[in-house]
Structure 1
Amino acid sequence: MATLALRIEGMTCERCAETVRQALESLPQVRARVSYPSAVAEVEVPAGTDAAALVEAVRRAGYGAEPLTPGGRRTGGGDGAGLHVAVVGGGSAAFACALRAAERGARVTIVAAGTIGGTCVNVGCVPSKILLRQAHVRHLAGHHPFEGLERRALAADAATLAAQRAARVAELRHAKYEALVASNPAITLVRGRARFEDAHTLRVALAGGGERTIHADRVLVATGARPAVPPVPGLAGTPYWTSTEALAATRVPPSLLVLGASAVGLELAQGFARLGSRVTVLELADRVLPQADVEVSAALRAALEAEGIAIRTGTAAERVTHRDGRFRVETADGALEAEALLVATGRRPDTENLGLERAGVETDARGAIVVDERLRTSTPDVYAAGDCAALPQLVYVAAAAGTRAAENMTGGEARLDLDVLPWTVFTDPQAAGVGLTEAEARARGLEAETRVLALDQVPRALASFDTRGMVKLVAERATGRLLGAHVVAAEGGEVIQSAALALRAGLTVHDLGEQLFP
């Protein structure tokens, strides 16, 4: 008998690994062990067995496979053999880069200062979506639209809800990050804070004390971002929340003021309102989601206000005080008070104290690292990805950037293409968009026309007794070429990818009209 190793692609859980094992063992005299965390199958086969038969068996099961050499590298190889790649950061961009660089033959050292997993899994996407779903269930119990079903207000045990969020976060952090590092011999995790000595040298203040110097052929900076707190007089001395504290909160405050009406502010405003808080949102711009299409902003605002959330646009916080357990926010139109204050005014790149100047790495006015489409910085051999770079602060952009940076660090020529970039705000209804807004199209000198469909004209929405929202398409008048799509609807984020694919393919609205949709 002989032992072969395969790199398995496309697995998303332990059940996938079991499916791959069964596919391999369907071949005569084959025994297999498949690891989901490391994406590797170790297969015992009769001597002389062609690996192509194993690859084909995996392919028939719906996954990809590629033979590995005894050292754990792809036989097809990358150009990373012999290279040492250092990754500064421990989030989505960092791990995407580390895994791809290791796949391409590089030796990788991750230097992580905080909890690995980064913003998304620890204090962002994952816990916020759990909170929103928890709040959604409570809201439906008391406000569903169906006659003949009891409506009642469910009690909310905030501490138990927070514990459930934390448990799922820990589970995903282990499965998607900790286990992957532990099972990959090409990746070493160093816990500490890194600082550049030069473009190829990092000085690391170790978490357990002492220092370590790391020399690398290539370096990726992927340190993420942190909440941006505005310089409102009095704010710094108060126990305000950022999204981090809000998502870990073990209480639902009776009243909550939210500064900022972009994605984070609106999601958490609705989440806490549905759990029982009386919520007021303040936004400096003249509308919520100021970067979205104006009709998206209007439709989402109407939906949130219908639930009792107070929204004040064109309003600046001029001073904040905290006394006797209550916040007071002064504005030009008077003062507002609440038991809790959430600051959700954006995030700033976390690039301070990295010694970037020693490596000659340029940043913009916000402190974001300037990169090109191949994620290269101003310094050869130093790359950047994720929220610390001058890129859209979205987790899927971060992961894509990290992967492409790894390709390029190891001899590839991968480009980060952001020409078609869908986005979603996970309120209820959700807001989503891709491509140009009507205003952006006209600003570019395009002769655009638009169509807006209110959801009270959609049978599926009528059948669900939920007609909140609209769909808006922006097209080039002369050709019908789709320029943008914008949605406010329950689970609207699930449909925006169809529009993204249409934009990528250059389809017209007439092409879309010819398609069959279930």
Structure 2
Amino acid sequence: MNDDDRSEYRDVVTPPKNGERLHIAIIGSGSGAFAAAIRATEEGARVTMIEAGKVIGGTCVNVGCVPSKIQIRASQLAEYQRHNPFEGLSDREPEIDRRRIAAQQHARVAELRQAKYEKILGDNPAITVLRGHARFESADTLLVERHDGESRQVVADRILIATGASAMVPPIPGLQEVPYWTSDDAVFSEETPEHLIVIGSSVVAVEQAQAFRRLGSRVTVLARSTLLSSEDPDLGRGLMQAFRAEGIEVQEYTEARSVRFESGRFHLETSAGRLSSDRLLVATGRTPNTSKLSLERIGVETDQRGAIKVDEHLRTSVSNVYATGDCTDLPQLVYVAAAGGTRAAVNMTGGRARLDLSAMPKVIFTEPQVASVGLDEGQARIKGIETESRTLDLENVPRALANFETRGFIKLVAEAGSHHLLGAQILAPEAGEIVQTAALAIHNGMTVEELGDLLFPYLVHVEALKLCAQTFSKDVAKLSCCAG
């Protein structure tokens, strides 16, 4: 992809009237919105950013990535105090002050929001922020209902929708009448519930389940099918074994049928029986924030969830209207939103940038971590690609042995015959640090033989990729340490 390639694209990018500076309106102020705003001003445009919420910055910095990773790290360190693999180090029950942890989370969130969002606005006079709810009147006109009750019309040459998503609330009878948590609430909790029930089994659900267990709660996870059902089945099975070893109860193929709240406790009727707890976390995914934009007025196409359909250039079905991030049908990942925002800005200012997701890494911050990139065997089969795969248990990885942390595996999927690497699925400590090497290998069209022939440092977790690649042609159990 070449961000500066501006050929064959001006047919969908109309120039501003009367030679004025190009005006771009951006609905939202999260990572995708800011990436677009910064790039658009670098290309000479002026930007009006419209934010409906009380704070700028979107989900990631305010209630998502940043505070959740602080919470997860705190819980990890608490667990290390309880249980460690070394005979010469004594275990002890940690003293946990949830209020102080929450205060530290809030402080770091405020610090990053100021440095990475508010300061950028203050330093960039080409970006104007307008507070209020925006909706389309036409393809180039927005009506913004401001918080003071007044309305303002914004006319722009291009419009980018980057409104993000909100916690989805499933239609469980009684749920709307009870004080359940979403992840936005749970991540800043100042209390440790005696028993937390988690409805959901994907990324946020499993991360929060393990964090609360390690911070002192009993945890029950209700999975409608299996744990991490959208991932390679081996990843879900491996994580479930790790959860059960920690005392997290996972009830697969279990649905909540009704919920009520009495005397400070939640009472659930499920397909597997009755459950009760003092806290309930609903973590069943996120819904695109598009319902109040009046998209139907201008004909922006959405899917059944309300997600805006975009092409690889971030264009919607309406000329001069673009979209990025969790409000679209793109993967709900902050770095995808930001990459989409940058490319949308290039395209809105006359370029032809493309968003390539063929080597998109994903990470789930449990322990062991779950990471993947490219195709798994099932996805390759759907595409009609014949594959070969190898799985290497961590007991064959020197760093895992040295750390006494051998739970997990590395799986590599290659195209049969050519042996070009198609995908990697990883359940391992530091899987998020390992997966990017696999992403680079896929992006550069490497074969597993080429990957296995590279020099990797020793002792590091990422060496597991090299060893797994070598299993396509040899028995690594018969190699010495550092064998090239």
Q: Same fold (TM over 0.5)?
A: yes
1:350 and 2:275 aligned? no
For 2:45, the equivalent position in structure 1 comes to 106
CA distance in 2 between counterparts of 1:309 and 1:372 reads 41
Match of 2:68 among 128, 133, 139: 128
* Deviation for aligned residue 1:370: 1.2
Runs of 4+ in 1 over 4 A off after TM superposition: none
Task: Provide the secondary structure at the position in 2 that maps to 1:364.
Answer: coil
What amino acid sits opposite 1:430 in the alignment?
Q
What amino acid sits opposite 1:260 in the alignment?
G
Task: Provide the secondary structure at the position in 2 that maps to 1:495.
Answer: helix
What are the residue-to-residue correspondences of 1:7-86 with 2, within 5 Å?
A: 82-86=21-25
* Deviation for aligned residue 1:443: 2.9
* Deviation for aligned residue 1:86: 0.5
1:284 and 2:224 aligned? yes
* Deviation for aligned residue 1:256: 0.2
CA distance in 2 between counterparts of 1:148 and 1:481 reads 45
CA distance in 2 between counterparts of 1:447 and 1:418 reads 21
CA distance in 2 between counterparts of 1:236 and 1:309 reads 26
For 1:22, the equivalent position in structure 2 comes to none
CA distance in 1 between counterparts of 2:303 and 2:229 reads 22
For 2:182, the equivalent position in structure 1 comes to 242
1:402 and 2:341 aligned? yes
For 1:176, the equivalent position in structure 2 comes to 116
CA distance in 2 between counterparts of 1:144 and 1:136 reads 11
For 1:205, the equivalent position in structure 2 comes to 145
* Deviation for aligned residue 1:363: 1.2
Q: Determine what percentage of the aligned residue pairs are the same residue.
A: 56
What are the residue-to-residue correspondences of 1:24-423 with 2, within 5 Å?
A: 82-114=21-53, 115-285=55-225, 287-423=226-362
* Deviation for aligned residue 1:266: 0.2
Match of 1:511 among 443, 450, 470: 450
Structure 1 residues 24-57: Cα deviation after superposition (integer angstroms, max 9, x where no partner): xxxxxxxxxxxxxxxxxxxxxxxxxxxxxxxxxx
Which TM-score applies when normalising by structure 2? Answer: 0.89
Structure 1 residues 481-505: Cα deviation after superposition (integer angstroms, max 9, x where no partner): 1111110111111010111111111
CA distance in 1 between counterparts of 2:348 and 2:380 reads 36
CA distance in 2 between counterparts of 1:215 and 1:152 reads 62
CA distance in 1 between counterparts of 2:143 and 2:82 reads 56
For 1:51, the equivalent position in structure 2 comes to none
* Deviation for aligned residue 1:358: 2.1
Task: Provide the secondary structure at the position in 2 that maps to 1:320.
Answer: strand
What amino acid sits opposite 1:214 in the alignment?
V
* Deviation for aligned residue 1:442: 2.4
Task: Provide the secondary structure at the position in 2 that maps to 1:318.
Answer: strand
Structure 1 residues 410-459: Cα deviation after superposition (integer angstroms, max 9, x where no partner): 00111111122110000011000011112222233322121111111211
Match of 2:364 among 409, 422, 425: 425
CA distance in 2 between counterparts of 1:442 and 1:196 reads 42
What amino acid sits opposite 1:112 in the alignment?
E
* Deviation for aligned residue 1:106: 0.4
What amino acid sits opposite 2:26 in the alignment?
V
Task: Provide the secondary structure at the position in 1 that maps to 2:48.
Answer: strand
CA distance in 1 between counterparts of 2:301 and 2:112 reads 34
CA distance in 1 between counterparts of 2:448 and 2:316 reads 39
Task: Provide the secondary structure at the position in 1 that maps to 2:256.
Answer: coil
CA distance in 2 between counterparts of 1:370 and 1:438 reads 27
Bigger Rg, structure 1 or 2: 1
Which 5+ residue runs of structure 1 have no aligned equivalent?
Answer: 1-78
Work out which structure has the larger RCO, using CA pairs closer than 8 Å and 6 or more positions apart in sequence: 2
CA distance in 2 between counterparts of 1:204 and 1:362 reads 22
Structure 1 residues 204-231: Cα deviation after superposition (integer angstroms, max 9, x where no partner): 1112331211111111010000011110
Which TM-score applies when normalising by structure 1? Answer: 0.83
What amino acid sits opposite 2:247 in the alignment?
G
* Deviation for aligned residue 1:197: 1.1
Q: Which moved more, 1:450-459 or 1:342-351?
A: 450-459
CA distance in 2 between counterparts of 1:440 and 1:205 reads 44
What amino acid sits opposite 1:498 in the alignment?
T
Task: Provide the secondary structure at the position in 2 that maps to 1:248.
Answer: coil
CA distance in 1 between counterparts of 2:224 and 2:405 reads 30
For 2:440, the equivalent position in structure 1 comes to 501
For 2:431, the equivalent position in structure 1 comes to 492
CA distance in 2 between counterparts of 1:364 and 1:490 reads 37
CA distance in 1 between counterparts of 2:380 and 2:134 reads 43
CA distance in 2 between counterparts of 1:309 and 1:298 reads 14
CA distance in 1 between counterparts of 2:134 and 2:383 reads 43
CA distance in 2 between counterparts of 1:181 and 1:492 reads 35
CA distance in 1 between counterparts of 2:309 and 2:360 reads 19
Task: Provide the secondary structure at the position in 2 that maps to 1:100.
Answer: helix
* Deviation for aligned residue 1:360: 2.2
CA distance in 2 between counterparts of 1:409 and 1:477 reads 41
* Deviation for aligned residue 1:156: 1.1
Which 5+ residue runs of structure 2 have no aligned equivalent?
Answer: 1-14, 458-484
Structure 1 residues 315-341: Cα deviation after superposition (integer angstroms, max 9, x where no partner): 111111111111111112211111101
CA distance in 1 between counterparts of 2:241 and 2:403 reads 19
What amino acid sits opposite 2:110 in the alignment?
A
Match of 1:468 among 392, 401, 407: 407
For 1:48, the equivalent position in structure 2 comes to none
* Deviation for aligned residue 1:143: 0.6
Structure 1 residues 112-154: Cα deviation after superposition (integer angstroms, max 9, x where no partner): 0112110000011111100000101111011111112221111
CA distance in 2 between counterparts of 1:348 and 1:206 reads 24
